[in-house]
Amino acid sequence: MEYCADPSTLEGLRWLACYLTTPKHQLFYLSFLTVFALLAITAPVVMIMGFGGAIARKSQIAPLRWLGTLYTSMVRGVPDIIFFLFVPIALDQLVEYARHKIKCPHITDPVYRGSEFIVCEAAKMPLSDSAAWVHNTWSFALAVIAFSLVFGAFAANTIFGALNAVPHSQLETARAFGLTEKQTFWRIHVPQMWTYALPGLSNLWMILIKATPLLFLLGIEDIVYWARELGGSKTGYFQYPHPDWRLWYFLALLVFYLLLTWLSGKIFNRLTSRYSLDHSSNPTKPLLKPIEAGR
């Protein structure tokens, strides 16, 4: 603490070291975790939604099929950003409206009054006396839901397409050997689906990474927020005044995102070769080119 005691007397590297470790900068570094948390939570949820959506679309049960089709085509037909803005607000109001009806049944005033949306204190989500982290977690959760809904639909499209891309003959063969529909699906259809889905899912993952700055748009203090906040010119009201350094902060984000996508690309390349159905690039490749099996 002594080291950085009086910022105005600091110079050069020492000033920079102190500047880069201010509590405000620590918030910036922590916000990277927000991005990772979003990715870590959203990705599996997206896969489940995608799988569910795709299976619904392929379902024998008509209403389920309609629901799946409606879901995927609705998201496909609307700009993502509309969803990212609409879903959190709509969900927030829906939850508060429901809580209002349950918790404050005695209040008969309408919730929507002109331009105002008013629910009773007990229905606020979160409650207005909740700690700041509760509020942050709530808005983060809403963002995760918005991301999952949108990317889940994309994933559903990809997986639906991949399921359809598996040659019919592969499945027919399974049935011809007495496998049940369920066994055929899980033992033949799904494992083979990955080959066709991986390029699309890899692409989707990249888009998801690149969409994380949308958190900023949802009012969440992510890395973009802090980069802009810290980079802006600082006058003498601040302990560490400096001119407009946004360029450097955004450059750091640029490098961060490049590293992240580069690393992801590597991982997906590995996955792709692992789930490939064409093993002929293997050194034990026979001299004769095998005939493609029923494709």
Partner 1 sequence: MTQFTSVARTAALAAALALASSTVFAETVRLGTEGAYPPFNFVNDSGEIDGYEREVGDMLCKIAELDCTWVKNDWDSIIPNLVSGNYDAIIAGMSITDERDEVIDFTQDYYPPDPSFYMALKGTGDDAINGVVSAQTSTIQAGYIAESDATLVEFATPDETIAAVKSGEADAVFADEAFLRKYVDESGGELIFLTPTVSLGGGVGMGIRESDTELTAKFNAAIDTMKKDGSLNALIAKWFDGRKDVY
Partner 2 sequence: MPQSPRRNQSVTQSDTVLALRGIHKSYGELDVLKGIDLTASRGDVIAMIGSSGSGKSTLLRCANLLETPQQGDIFFHGEQVKWHTKRHQRIPSDKHQVRRMRANLSMVFQQFNLWAHMTVLQNVIEAPQTVLKKDPDEARELGRQLLTKVGIGDKCDQYPSQLSGGQQQRAAIARALAMEPAAMLFDEPTSALDPELEAEVVRVIQTLAEEGRTMIIVTHDMKMAYDVATHVIFLHDGVIVEEGTPDQVFNNTRSARLKQFLQSSGTFG
Task: Compute the distance between CA of residue 286 and CA of residue 265 in angstroms, rounded to an integer.
Answer: 30
Q: How far is the CB of 232 from partner 1 (least distance, A)?
A: 4
A 10 A CB-CB count for 205 gives: 20
Question: What is the secondary structure of 84-113 as a DSSP string?
Answer: HHHHHHHHHHHHHHHHHHHH-TT--S-SEE
Q: How far is the CB of 153 from partner 1 (least distance, A)?
A: 27
Q: What are 73's two structure tokens?
A: 């085509």
SS3 content of the chain, % helix, strand, coil (to 5): 70, 0, 30
| Long-range residue pairs from 187-191, CB within 8 A, at least 24 positions apart, any chain | 189/163
Considering the complex, state which of residue 14 and residue 279 has its C-beta at the smaller distance from partner 2.
Answer: 279
Q: Can you tell me which residue has the tokens 């955004």?
A: 250
CA nearest 205: which of 126, 250, 268? 268
Out of partner 1, partner 2, none, which partner does residue 161 contact, by CB within 5 to 8 A per kind?
none
Distance separating the N- and C-terminal Cα atoms of the chain:
68
A 10 A CB-CB count for 157 gives: 21
Considering the complex, state which of residue 36 and residue 177 has its C-beta at the smaller distance from partner 2.
Answer: 177
Out of partner 2, partner 1, none, which partner does residue 284 contact, by CB within 5 to 8 A per kind?
partner 2
Positions touching partner 1 (CB under 8 A) are 7, 22-24, 26-27, 89, 93, 96, 113, 115-119, 121, 124, 128-129, 132, 135, 219, 221, 228-229, 232-233, 235-241, 244, 246
Q: Which residues contact 256 (CB under 8 A, 6 or more apart)?
A: 32, 223
Positions touching partner 2 (CB under 8 A) are 169-170, 172-180, 183, 187-188, 191-192, 195, 275, 277-280, 282, 284-286, 288, 290-291, 293-294
Q: How far is the CB of 287 from partner 2 (least distance, A)?
A: 8
Out of partner 1, partner 2, none, which partner does residue 58 contact, by CB within 5 to 8 A per kind?
none
Out of partner 2, partner 1, none, which partner does residue 23 contact, by CB within 5 to 8 A per kind?
partner 1
Considering the complex, state which of residue 106 and residue 289 has its C-beta at the smaller distance from partner 2.
Answer: 289
Considering the complex, state which of residue 170 and residue 239 has its C-beta at the smaller distance from partner 1.
Answer: 239
Considering the complex, state which of residue 72 and residue 192 has its C-beta at the smaller distance from partner 2.
Answer: 192
